[in-house]
A and B are shown apart, each in its own frame.
Chain A
Amino acid sequence: MKLSDPIKISYRSLTASKTRFFLTVLGVVIGVSAVIMVMSIGASAQQLVLSQVQKAGSNILIILPGASEEDGPPASAFGIVTTTLKNTDLKVLRERYSAPHLTALSGYVTGSGTIESSAASLSVSVQGVSMETADIENITLASGRFFFTEEETNLARVIVLGSTRARELFPNSDPLGQTVTLKDNLFTVIGVLEERGSSGFSNPDTLVYVPLLTAQKILLGIDYLNSIRATVDAPENIDRTIADITLSLRKQHHLEEDEESDFSVRSTAAALDVLTGITDVLKYFLVAIASISLVVGGVGIMNSMLISLSQRVREIGLRKAVGARRQHIVFQFLIESSFITVLGGIIGIILGIILTFIASLILVRLGYEWDFLVPPMSLALGFFVSVSIGIIFGLYPALKASKVSPMEALRYE
Chain B
Amino acid sequence: MTLIATKNLEKIYDNDGVRTVGLAQATFSIEVGEFLAIMGPSGSGKSTLMQVLGLLDRATAGDYWLDGKHIAEFSDDELATLRNKKIGFVFQSFNLLPKTSVSDNVELPLLYDNHPEKDNRERVRSALTAVGMQHRANHLSNQLSGGEKQRVAIARALVNDPDIIFADEPTGNLDSKSGLQVMAILQKLNDTGKTVVLVTHETATAEHAKRILLMIDGKIVSDTPVANRKFADGNERTLK
Contact = CB atoms under 8 A, between A and B. Distances in A.
Interface of A: 1-2, 4-5, 8-9, 12-13, 16, 314-315, 318-328, 405-407, 409-410, 412-413
A1 B56 contact: no
B31 interface: no
Identify the interface centre among B51, B56, B99, B100: most chain A CB within 10 Å of its CB.
B56
B65 to A, nearest CB: 20
Given A1-B113, A318-B95, 6 more contacts: A9-B111, A320-B80, A320-B83, A406-B56, A407-B57, A409-B95
B109 A323 contact: yes
Interface of B: 47, 51, 54, 56-57, 76-77, 80-81, 83-85, 89, 91-93, 95, 97-100, 104, 108-109, 111-114, 117, 156, 160, 168
Given A314-B95, A413-B93, A323 B84 contact: yes
A137 B51 CA distance: 89
A322 B87 CA distance: 8
A323 B85 contact: yes
Contacts, number: 82
Given A410-B47, A410-B91, A8 B111 contact: yes
Contacts of A328: 112
A404 B65 CA distance: 25
Nearest to A409: B95
Name, among B47, B56, B89, B111, the residue most crowded by chain A CB atoms within 10 Å (CB to CB): B111
B103 to A, nearest CB: 12
B20 to A, nearest CB: 15
Given A322-B108, A328-B112, A412 B93 contact: yes
A324 B109 CA distance: 8
B66 to A, nearest CB: 14
* Top 3 closest pairs, chain A to chain B, by CB: A323-B84, A323-B112, A322-B109
A58 to B, nearest CB: 65
A315 B168 contact: no
Contacts of A407: 51, 56-57
Nearest to B47: A410
Nearest to B94: A318
29 contacts: A1-B114, A2-B114, A4-B117, A5-B112, A12-B97, A12-B100, A12-B104, A13-B97, A16-B98, A16-B99, A314-B95, A318-B97, A318-B108, A321-B56, A322-B89, A322-B108, A322-B109, A322-B112, A322-B156, A323-B113, A325-B80, A325-B81, A325-B112, A327-B77, A328-B112, A405-B56, A405-B57, A406-B83, A410-B91
Nearest to A326: B77
Contact of B56 (A315, A326, A327, A410): A410
A322 B112 CA distance: 8
A409 B91 contact: yes
Contacts of A327: 77
B84 A410 contact: no
A8 B85 CA distance: 21
A407 B89 CA distance: 12
A13 B104 CA distance: 11
B83 A16 contact: no
A412 B170 CA distance: 12
Contacts of A318: 91, 95, 97, 108
Contacts of B93: 412-413
